[in-house]
Amino acid sequence: MTESELTRLSASRLSDLMEARQVSPVEATEAYLRRIESIDPTLRSYLTVAADSALEQARQAERDFMSGVRRGPLQGVPVALKDQIWTADMPTTNGSQLLRDNIPPEDATVVSKLKAGGAVILGKVHMGEFAGAGMFRRSFPAARNPWNLDRTTGGSSGGSAAATAARLCATALGEDTGGSIRSPASWCGVVGLRPTWGLVSRFGVFAGGWSMDALGPMARTVEDCAITLSAIAGPDPRDAYSSTAPVPDYRSALEGDVRGLRVGIVKELTLGDFVNDEVQSAVLKAVESIGSMGAKLQEVSIPLAAYGNLIMWGILYVEATAIYREWARNSLLEEDDELPITYLVGSVIPAEYYYKAQKLRELLRRQVMEALEEVDVLISPTVESVAPPVSRETPPVTKESVIENLVRAPFMVTPAHPLAGIPAISLTCGFASGEDGMPIGLQIGGRPFEETTVLSLAQAYEQQAGWFKKEPDLSAFGG
Protein backbone atom coordinates (compact mmCIF):
# COMPACT_ATOMS: atom_id res chain seq x y z
CA MET A 1 0.00 0.00 0.00
CA THR A 2 1.03 3.59 -0.58
CA GLU A 3 1.42 6.01 2.32
CA SER A 4 -1.83 7.73 1.31
CA GLU A 5 -3.70 4.42 1.20
CA LEU A 6 -2.39 3.39 4.62
CA THR A 7 -3.41 6.61 6.32
CA ARG A 8 -6.84 6.49 4.68
CA LEU A 9 -7.63 3.16 6.34
CA SER A 10 -9.96 3.36 9.30
CA ALA A 11 -8.44 2.28 12.61
CA SER A 12 -10.72 -0.78 12.58
CA ARG A 13 -9.70 -1.82 9.08
CA LEU A 14 -6.04 -1.17 9.87
CA SER A 15 -6.34 -3.36 12.96
CA ASP A 16 -7.91 -6.18 10.94
CA LEU A 17 -5.21 -6.03 8.25
CA MET A 18 -2.48 -6.05 10.86
CA GLU A 19 -3.97 -9.07 12.55
CA ALA A 20 -4.11 -10.80 9.16
CA ARG A 21 -0.43 -9.78 8.69
CA GLN A 22 -1.26 -7.87 5.51
CA VAL A 23 -0.08 -4.54 6.93
CA SER A 24 2.93 -3.98 9.16
CA PRO A 25 2.56 -1.74 12.28
CA VAL A 26 5.99 -0.30 11.45
CA GLU A 27 4.92 0.48 7.90
CA ALA A 28 1.74 2.22 9.13
CA THR A 29 3.56 4.18 11.82
CA GLU A 30 6.20 5.38 9.38
CA ALA A 31 3.45 6.50 6.99
CA TYR A 32 1.76 8.55 9.71
CA LEU A 33 5.05 10.08 10.87
CA ARG A 34 5.92 11.13 7.31
CA ARG A 35 2.46 12.64 6.89
CA ILE A 36 2.83 14.56 10.17
CA GLU A 37 6.22 15.86 9.03
CA SER A 38 4.72 16.98 5.72
CA ILE A 39 1.40 18.50 6.79
CA ASP A 40 1.52 19.41 10.45
CA PRO A 41 3.83 22.43 10.09
CA THR A 42 0.75 24.00 8.47
CA LEU A 43 -1.96 22.54 10.71
CA ARG A 44 0.01 22.69 13.98
CA SER A 45 -2.11 19.96 15.56
CA TYR A 46 0.80 18.30 17.43
CA LEU A 47 2.70 19.79 20.36
CA THR A 48 5.01 16.77 20.70
CA VAL A 49 5.79 14.07 18.13
CA ALA A 50 7.41 10.99 19.73
CA ALA A 51 8.79 9.38 16.59
CA ASP A 52 11.45 7.19 18.22
CA SER A 53 9.22 5.69 20.91
CA ALA A 54 6.36 5.28 18.41
CA LEU A 55 8.57 3.26 16.09
CA GLU A 56 9.78 1.09 18.97
CA GLN A 57 6.17 0.44 20.03
CA ALA A 58 5.34 -0.40 16.41
CA ARG A 59 8.23 -2.87 16.24
CA GLN A 60 7.03 -4.52 19.44
CA ALA A 61 3.48 -4.73 18.06
CA GLU A 62 4.86 -6.36 14.93
CA ARG A 63 6.80 -8.92 16.96
CA ASP A 64 3.65 -9.69 18.93
CA PHE A 65 1.60 -10.20 15.77
CA MET A 66 4.27 -12.48 14.34
CA SER A 67 4.28 -14.49 17.58
CA GLY A 68 0.49 -14.78 17.61
CA VAL A 69 0.13 -12.52 20.66
CA ARG A 70 -3.06 -10.41 20.56
CA ARG A 71 -3.09 -7.62 23.12
CA GLY A 72 -6.13 -5.54 22.26
CA PRO A 73 -8.24 -3.86 19.57
CA LEU A 74 -5.69 -1.08 18.98
CA GLN A 75 -2.58 -3.27 18.76
CA GLY A 76 -0.21 -1.61 16.29
CA VAL A 77 -2.65 1.26 15.62
CA PRO A 78 -1.19 4.82 15.73
CA VAL A 79 -2.93 7.00 18.33
CA ALA A 80 -2.67 10.68 19.32
CA LEU A 81 -3.26 11.97 22.86
CA LYS A 82 -4.62 15.29 24.05
CA ASP A 83 -1.81 16.97 25.99
CA GLN A 84 -3.93 16.98 29.12
CA ILE A 85 -3.15 13.28 29.59
CA TRP A 86 -0.04 12.31 31.56
CA THR A 87 2.79 10.54 29.75
CA ALA A 88 5.92 9.55 31.65
CA ASP A 89 8.08 9.49 28.51
CA MET A 90 7.21 12.87 26.98
CA PRO A 91 6.03 16.31 28.16
CA THR A 92 2.46 16.90 29.29
CA THR A 93 1.88 20.65 29.03
CA ASN A 94 -1.86 20.93 29.72
CA GLY A 95 -1.74 23.37 26.84
CA SER A 96 0.43 25.83 28.74
CA GLN A 97 3.95 27.17 28.35
CA LEU A 98 4.11 27.10 32.15
CA LEU A 99 4.34 23.30 31.86
CA ARG A 100 6.35 23.04 28.64
CA ASP A 101 9.05 20.99 30.41
CA ASN A 102 6.69 18.98 32.64
CA ILE A 103 7.36 15.23 32.57
CA PRO A 104 4.78 13.46 34.78
CA PRO A 105 5.97 10.79 37.23
CA GLU A 106 3.85 8.11 35.56
CA ASP A 107 1.43 7.43 32.74
CA ALA A 108 -2.28 8.13 33.03
CA THR A 109 -4.37 4.98 33.37
CA VAL A 110 -5.67 5.35 29.80
CA VAL A 111 -2.08 5.55 28.52
CA SER A 112 -1.12 2.45 30.52
CA LYS A 113 -4.09 0.64 28.99
CA LEU A 114 -3.17 1.75 25.48
CA LYS A 115 0.43 0.61 25.91
CA ALA A 116 -0.63 -2.70 27.46
CA GLY A 117 -2.97 -3.16 24.49
CA GLY A 118 -0.16 -2.63 22.01
CA ALA A 119 -1.22 0.77 20.66
CA VAL A 120 1.39 3.05 19.08
CA ILE A 121 1.40 6.53 20.64
CA LEU A 122 2.45 9.06 18.05
CA GLY A 123 2.53 12.07 20.35
CA LYS A 124 0.58 14.81 22.10
CA VAL A 125 -1.81 17.21 20.40
CA HIS A 126 -3.01 20.78 20.92
CA MET A 127 -5.53 21.89 23.51
CA GLY A 128 -6.78 25.03 25.23
CA GLU A 129 -4.59 26.16 28.11
CA PHE A 130 -5.46 24.27 31.32
CA ALA A 131 -8.42 22.79 29.40
CA GLY A 132 -10.26 26.00 30.13
CA ALA A 133 -9.02 28.77 27.84
CA GLY A 134 -10.63 29.63 24.56
CA MET A 135 -8.64 29.21 21.37
CA PHE A 136 -5.01 28.71 22.42
CA ARG A 137 -4.31 32.42 22.75
CA ARG A 138 -0.88 32.90 24.22
CA SER A 139 0.84 29.63 25.00
CA PHE A 140 1.08 27.99 21.57
CA PRO A 141 0.17 29.03 18.01
CA ALA A 142 -3.38 28.07 17.12
CA ALA A 143 -4.10 24.69 15.56
CA ARG A 144 -5.91 24.95 12.22
CA ASN A 145 -9.09 23.33 10.95
CA PRO A 146 -8.19 20.98 8.05
CA TRP A 147 -11.38 21.89 6.18
CA ASN A 148 -10.50 25.58 6.16
CA LEU A 149 -7.36 27.00 7.73
CA ASP A 150 -9.19 30.23 8.53
CA ARG A 151 -11.76 28.41 10.70
CA THR A 152 -11.44 27.33 14.32
CA THR A 153 -11.01 23.71 15.39
CA GLY A 154 -13.37 23.95 18.36
CA GLY A 155 -12.99 23.57 22.10
CA SER A 156 -10.00 22.40 24.07
CA SER A 157 -9.74 19.03 22.25
CA GLY A 158 -9.35 20.82 18.92
CA GLY A 159 -5.90 19.34 18.31
CA SER A 160 -7.28 15.79 18.58
CA ALA A 161 -10.04 16.63 16.10
CA ALA A 162 -7.72 18.36 13.62
CA ALA A 163 -5.16 15.53 13.68
CA THR A 164 -7.88 12.93 13.19
CA ALA A 165 -9.57 14.79 10.32
CA ALA A 166 -6.23 15.36 8.57
CA ARG A 167 -5.27 11.66 8.85
CA LEU A 168 -2.34 12.46 11.13
CA CYS A 169 -3.40 9.62 13.45
CA ALA A 170 -5.72 6.64 13.11
CA THR A 171 -7.65 7.54 16.27
CA ALA A 172 -7.21 9.94 19.17
CA LEU A 173 -8.20 10.65 22.75
CA GLY A 174 -9.83 13.88 23.86
CA GLU A 175 -11.40 15.13 27.06
CA ASP A 176 -14.89 16.57 27.34
CA THR A 177 -15.99 18.72 30.28
CA GLY A 178 -18.78 20.76 28.73
CA GLY A 179 -18.37 19.82 25.08
CA SER A 180 -14.66 19.72 24.29
CA ILE A 181 -14.82 16.39 22.44
CA ARG A 182 -18.12 16.90 20.67
CA SER A 183 -17.77 20.51 19.48
CA PRO A 184 -14.36 19.98 17.79
CA ALA A 185 -15.64 16.70 16.34
CA SER A 186 -18.56 18.58 14.78
CA TRP A 187 -16.44 21.45 13.46
CA CYS A 188 -13.67 19.21 12.10
CA GLY A 189 -15.97 16.57 10.59
CA VAL A 190 -14.99 13.57 12.73
CA VAL A 191 -16.72 11.33 15.28
CA GLY A 192 -16.33 12.17 18.96
CA LEU A 193 -17.79 10.27 21.90
CA ARG A 194 -18.19 11.60 25.42
CA PRO A 195 -18.76 8.44 27.51
CA THR A 196 -20.87 8.13 30.63
CA TRP A 197 -19.21 9.98 33.51
CA GLY A 198 -16.97 7.46 35.30
CA LEU A 199 -16.77 4.87 32.51
CA VAL A 200 -13.17 5.86 31.69
CA SER A 201 -10.60 6.47 34.43
CA ARG A 202 -9.35 10.04 34.83
CA PHE A 203 -6.29 9.15 36.89
CA GLY A 204 -3.31 11.04 35.50
CA VAL A 205 -5.36 13.63 33.62
CA PHE A 206 -5.22 17.35 34.36
CA ALA A 207 -8.72 18.33 35.43
CA GLY A 208 -11.04 20.85 33.82
CA GLY A 209 -13.93 20.41 36.25
CA TRP A 210 -13.89 17.25 38.37
CA SER A 211 -17.67 16.74 38.43
CA MET A 212 -17.99 16.78 34.62
CA ASP A 213 -14.68 15.68 33.04
CA ALA A 214 -14.81 12.61 30.77
CA LEU A 215 -12.11 11.12 28.53
CA GLY A 216 -13.24 9.69 25.23
CA PRO A 217 -12.34 8.72 21.66
CA MET A 218 -12.19 10.94 18.58
CA ALA A 219 -11.98 9.04 15.31
CA ARG A 220 -12.99 9.00 11.66
CA THR A 221 -15.77 6.40 12.04
CA VAL A 222 -18.16 5.22 14.71
CA GLU A 223 -16.60 1.76 14.63
CA ASP A 224 -13.20 3.34 15.34
CA CYS A 225 -14.71 5.13 18.34
CA ALA A 226 -16.08 1.79 19.53
CA ILE A 227 -12.75 -0.02 19.46
CA THR A 228 -10.96 2.93 21.05
CA LEU A 229 -13.50 3.06 23.87
CA SER A 230 -13.07 -0.69 24.45
CA ALA A 231 -9.33 -0.12 24.84
CA ILE A 232 -9.62 2.55 27.56
CA ALA A 233 -12.87 1.91 29.47
CA GLY A 234 -13.18 0.10 32.80
CA PRO A 235 -12.75 0.48 36.55
CA ASP A 236 -9.59 1.88 38.10
CA PRO A 237 -8.79 1.74 41.86
CA ARG A 238 -6.76 4.94 41.42
CA ASP A 239 -9.84 6.88 40.34
CA ALA A 240 -12.37 6.79 43.17
CA TYR A 241 -15.11 7.99 40.80
CA SER A 242 -14.57 5.36 38.12
CA SER A 243 -17.44 2.97 37.60
CA THR A 244 -17.33 -0.77 38.20
CA ALA A 245 -19.91 -1.36 35.46
CA PRO A 246 -18.91 -4.17 33.06
CA VAL A 247 -17.37 -3.07 29.77
CA PRO A 248 -18.86 -4.80 26.72
CA ASP A 249 -17.18 -5.33 23.38
CA TYR A 250 -18.50 -2.15 21.82
CA ARG A 251 -17.50 -3.15 18.29
CA SER A 252 -19.41 -6.43 18.46
CA ALA A 253 -22.46 -4.56 19.75
CA LEU A 254 -22.75 -2.50 16.54
CA GLU A 255 -25.85 -4.21 15.20
CA GLY A 256 -26.92 -1.76 12.49
CA ASP A 257 -30.62 -2.51 13.08
CA VAL A 258 -32.50 0.44 14.59
CA ARG A 259 -36.03 -0.74 13.89
CA GLY A 260 -38.30 0.08 16.80
CA LEU A 261 -35.70 2.29 18.52
CA ARG A 262 -37.44 5.27 20.13
CA VAL A 263 -35.68 8.46 19.03
CA GLY A 264 -36.43 11.76 20.75
CA ILE A 265 -35.75 15.08 19.04
CA VAL A 266 -34.98 17.55 21.84
CA LYS A 267 -37.15 20.57 21.10
CA GLU A 268 -35.16 23.07 23.16
CA LEU A 269 -31.84 22.11 21.54
CA THR A 270 -32.98 21.65 17.94
CA LEU A 271 -35.90 23.82 16.92
CA GLY A 272 -35.13 27.27 18.31
CA ASP A 273 -34.04 30.39 16.41
CA PHE A 274 -30.59 30.11 17.98
CA VAL A 275 -29.73 27.15 15.70
CA ASN A 276 -28.30 28.13 12.33
CA ASP A 277 -30.76 27.37 9.51
CA GLU A 278 -28.38 25.08 7.61
CA VAL A 279 -27.46 23.21 10.78
CA GLN A 280 -31.10 22.74 11.70
CA SER A 281 -31.98 21.58 8.19
CA ALA A 282 -29.13 19.04 8.09
CA VAL A 283 -30.07 17.63 11.50
CA LEU A 284 -33.75 17.31 10.59
CA LYS A 285 -32.81 15.54 7.34
CA ALA A 286 -30.68 13.14 9.38
CA VAL A 287 -33.66 12.52 11.64
CA GLU A 288 -35.78 11.70 8.58
CA SER A 289 -33.13 9.22 7.43
CA ILE A 290 -33.10 7.58 10.84
CA GLY A 291 -36.89 7.32 10.67
CA SER A 292 -36.65 5.69 7.24
CA MET A 293 -34.58 2.92 8.84
CA GLY A 294 -37.49 2.00 11.11
CA ALA A 295 -36.79 4.07 14.20
CA LYS A 296 -39.77 5.66 15.96
CA LEU A 297 -39.45 9.44 16.03
CA GLN A 298 -41.01 11.83 18.51
CA GLU A 299 -40.38 15.28 19.89
CA VAL A 300 -39.37 15.54 23.56
CA SER A 301 -39.03 18.52 25.87
CA ILE A 302 -36.21 19.15 28.35
CA PRO A 303 -36.95 22.74 29.43
CA LEU A 304 -33.75 23.33 31.43
CA ALA A 305 -31.56 22.12 28.54
CA ALA A 306 -31.85 25.61 27.06
CA TYR A 307 -30.07 26.95 30.16
CA GLY A 308 -27.36 24.29 30.27
CA ASN A 309 -24.55 26.74 29.53
CA LEU A 310 -25.61 29.04 32.36
CA ILE A 311 -25.75 26.14 34.82
CA MET A 312 -22.45 24.70 33.59
CA TRP A 313 -20.43 27.91 33.96
CA GLY A 314 -21.84 28.50 37.42
CA ILE A 315 -20.22 25.22 38.40
CA LEU A 316 -17.07 25.17 36.28
CA TYR A 317 -15.80 28.64 37.14
CA VAL A 318 -15.76 27.61 40.80
CA GLU A 319 -14.34 24.11 40.25
CA ALA A 320 -11.57 25.24 37.87
CA THR A 321 -10.49 27.94 40.29
CA ALA A 322 -10.38 25.44 43.16
CA ILE A 323 -8.37 22.94 41.10
CA TYR A 324 -5.79 25.50 39.96
CA ARG A 325 -5.74 27.66 43.07
CA GLU A 326 -1.95 27.60 43.39
CA TRP A 327 -1.42 28.45 39.73
CA ALA A 328 -3.88 31.30 40.06
CA ARG A 329 -2.01 32.68 43.08
CA ASN A 330 1.55 32.22 41.88
CA SER A 331 1.54 32.38 38.09
CA LEU A 332 -1.62 34.28 37.26
CA LEU A 333 -0.16 36.82 34.84
CA GLU A 334 1.86 34.21 32.96
CA GLU A 335 -1.23 32.24 31.91
CA ASP A 336 -3.52 32.65 28.92
CA ASP A 337 -5.20 36.05 28.65
CA GLU A 338 -8.55 34.48 29.50
CA LEU A 339 -7.56 32.42 32.53
CA PRO A 340 -6.54 35.12 35.02
CA ILE A 341 -9.96 36.74 34.75
CA THR A 342 -11.68 33.34 34.90
CA TYR A 343 -9.84 32.37 38.08
CA LEU A 344 -10.37 35.76 39.69
CA VAL A 345 -14.09 35.65 39.00
CA GLY A 346 -14.28 32.01 40.10
CA SER A 347 -12.64 32.89 43.40
CA VAL A 348 -15.30 35.49 44.28
CA ILE A 349 -18.47 33.76 43.04
CA PRO A 350 -20.82 33.58 46.05
CA ALA A 351 -21.44 30.14 47.52
CA GLU A 352 -25.16 30.55 46.94
CA TYR A 353 -24.55 30.89 43.18
CA TYR A 354 -22.65 27.60 43.05
CA TYR A 355 -25.30 26.02 45.29
CA LYS A 356 -28.07 27.24 43.02
CA ALA A 357 -26.26 25.93 39.94
CA GLN A 358 -25.93 22.49 41.57
CA LYS A 359 -29.65 22.44 42.40
CA LEU A 360 -30.51 23.38 38.82
CA ARG A 361 -28.14 20.70 37.58
CA GLU A 362 -30.04 18.05 39.53
CA LEU A 363 -33.35 19.32 38.16
CA LEU A 364 -31.92 19.19 34.63
CA ARG A 365 -30.62 15.68 35.22
CA ARG A 366 -34.09 14.57 36.32
CA GLN A 367 -35.65 16.10 33.21
CA VAL A 368 -33.12 14.30 31.01
CA MET A 369 -33.72 10.96 32.71
CA GLU A 370 -37.51 11.41 32.49
CA ALA A 371 -37.13 12.04 28.76
CA LEU A 372 -35.03 8.87 28.48
CA GLU A 373 -37.91 6.90 29.97
CA GLU A 374 -40.04 7.97 27.01
CA VAL A 375 -37.34 7.40 24.38
CA ASP A 376 -34.13 5.40 24.00
CA VAL A 377 -31.92 8.18 22.64
CA LEU A 378 -31.94 11.97 22.38
CA ILE A 379 -31.07 13.80 19.15
CA SER A 380 -30.03 17.41 18.56
CA PRO A 381 -27.39 19.36 16.70
CA THR A 382 -23.94 19.04 18.25
CA VAL A 383 -23.23 22.74 17.88
CA GLU A 384 -25.65 25.44 16.83
CA SER A 385 -23.39 26.62 13.96
CA VAL A 386 -20.52 25.53 11.76
CA ALA A 387 -16.95 26.42 12.77
CA PRO A 388 -16.57 30.21 12.92
CA PRO A 389 -13.59 32.07 11.45
CA VAL A 390 -10.44 32.39 13.50
CA SER A 391 -10.50 35.84 15.03
CA ARG A 392 -7.64 37.97 13.71
CA GLU A 393 -7.82 40.19 16.76
CA THR A 394 -8.79 38.52 20.00
CA PRO A 395 -11.06 40.84 21.97
CA PRO A 396 -9.84 41.51 25.50
CA VAL A 397 -11.33 39.35 28.23
CA THR A 398 -12.57 41.59 31.01
CA LYS A 399 -14.29 41.14 34.32
CA GLU A 400 -17.45 42.47 32.71
CA SER A 401 -17.34 40.00 29.81
CA VAL A 402 -16.89 37.05 32.15
CA ILE A 403 -19.74 38.18 34.38
CA GLU A 404 -21.85 38.59 31.23
CA ASN A 405 -21.03 34.96 30.46
CA LEU A 406 -22.27 33.93 33.88
CA VAL A 407 -25.42 36.05 33.94
CA ARG A 408 -26.50 35.79 30.30
CA ALA A 409 -24.53 32.87 28.95
CA PRO A 410 -24.78 32.37 25.16
CA PHE A 411 -26.72 29.32 24.05
CA MET A 412 -24.82 26.03 23.76
CA VAL A 413 -26.13 22.58 22.88
CA THR A 414 -23.46 20.42 24.51
CA PRO A 415 -23.68 21.13 28.31
CA ALA A 416 -26.92 19.25 29.03
CA HIS A 417 -25.29 15.84 28.54
CA PRO A 418 -22.30 16.25 30.91
CA LEU A 419 -24.53 17.95 33.47
CA ALA A 420 -26.69 14.82 33.41
CA GLY A 421 -23.69 12.45 33.23
CA ILE A 422 -24.95 10.66 30.12
CA PRO A 423 -23.04 9.52 27.01
CA ALA A 424 -23.25 11.56 23.81
CA ILE A 425 -21.68 11.19 20.39
CA SER A 426 -21.17 13.66 17.56
CA LEU A 427 -20.91 12.62 13.92
CA THR A 428 -21.17 14.43 10.62
CA CYS A 429 -24.65 14.83 9.13
CA GLY A 430 -23.85 17.19 6.26
CA PHE A 431 -21.86 20.17 5.08
CA ALA A 432 -22.75 23.82 4.78
CA SER A 433 -23.37 25.15 1.28
CA GLY A 434 -21.15 27.66 -0.50
CA GLU A 435 -17.39 27.88 -0.70
CA ASP A 436 -16.85 27.22 3.00
CA GLY A 437 -18.55 23.82 2.98
CA MET A 438 -17.86 23.26 6.67
CA PRO A 439 -19.00 20.07 8.46
CA ILE A 440 -22.23 19.94 10.48
CA GLY A 441 -22.56 17.66 13.50
CA LEU A 442 -25.43 15.47 14.70
CA GLN A 443 -25.50 14.69 18.44
CA ILE A 444 -26.97 11.49 19.88
CA GLY A 445 -27.28 11.04 23.65
CA GLY A 446 -28.36 7.97 25.61
CA ARG A 447 -28.94 6.53 29.04
CA PRO A 448 -25.98 6.13 31.41
CA PHE A 449 -23.75 3.19 30.41
CA GLU A 450 -25.81 2.52 27.27
CA GLU A 451 -23.02 3.47 24.91
CA THR A 452 -23.87 0.42 22.82
CA THR A 453 -27.25 1.92 21.89
CA VAL A 454 -25.73 5.32 21.08
CA LEU A 455 -22.95 3.78 18.99
CA SER A 456 -25.32 1.43 17.14
CA LEU A 457 -27.66 4.22 16.05
CA ALA A 458 -24.73 6.44 15.13
CA GLN A 459 -23.15 3.73 12.99
CA ALA A 460 -26.42 2.86 11.27
CA TYR A 461 -26.91 6.49 10.26
CA GLU A 462 -23.23 6.92 9.36
CA GLN A 463 -23.26 3.96 6.99
CA GLN A 464 -26.51 5.03 5.33
CA ALA A 465 -25.54 8.68 4.92
CA GLY A 466 -21.89 8.10 3.97
CA TRP A 467 -20.64 11.54 5.07
CA PHE A 468 -17.61 9.92 6.71
CA LYS A 469 -16.18 9.18 3.26
CA LYS A 470 -15.63 12.86 2.57
CA GLU A 471 -12.28 14.24 3.70
CA PRO A 472 -10.58 17.66 3.63
CA ASP A 473 -8.40 18.54 0.66
CA LEU A 474 -4.85 18.94 1.93
CA SER A 475 -3.09 18.38 -1.38
CA ALA A 476 -1.64 21.90 -1.32
CA PHE A 477 0.27 20.97 1.83
CA GLY A 478 1.58 17.62 0.69
CA GLY A 479 -1.50 15.62 1.68
Catalytically active residues, by annotation: 82, 156, 180
Cα 219 to Cα 182, 193, 239, 479: the distances in Å are 11, 9, 25, 18
- Helix (H) / strand (E) element for 235: namely none
Cα 466 to Cα 198, 220, 238, 429, 459: the distances in Å are 32, 12, 41, 9, 10
Q: What are phi and psi of 44, to 5 degrees?
A: 60, 40
Measured CA to CA, the distance from residue 166 to residue 164 in angstroms comes to 5
3-state SS class at 431: strand
CB 126 within 8 A of CB 143: yes
- Identity of the amino acid at 388: P
Give the closest residue to 155 by CA, choosing from 120, 104, 194, 109.
Answer: 194
Q: For 429, what's the count of Cα atoms within 13 Å in the CB-facing half-sphere?
A: 29
Alpha-carbon torsion (315, 317, 321, 327), positive or negative: positive
Q: Environment class of residue 2 by beta-carbon count within 10 Å: exposed (0-12), middle (13-18) or buried (19+)? A: exposed
Measured CA to CA, the distance from residue 442 to residue 383 in angstroms comes to 8
Measured CA to CA, the distance from residue 87 to residue 50 in angstroms comes to 11
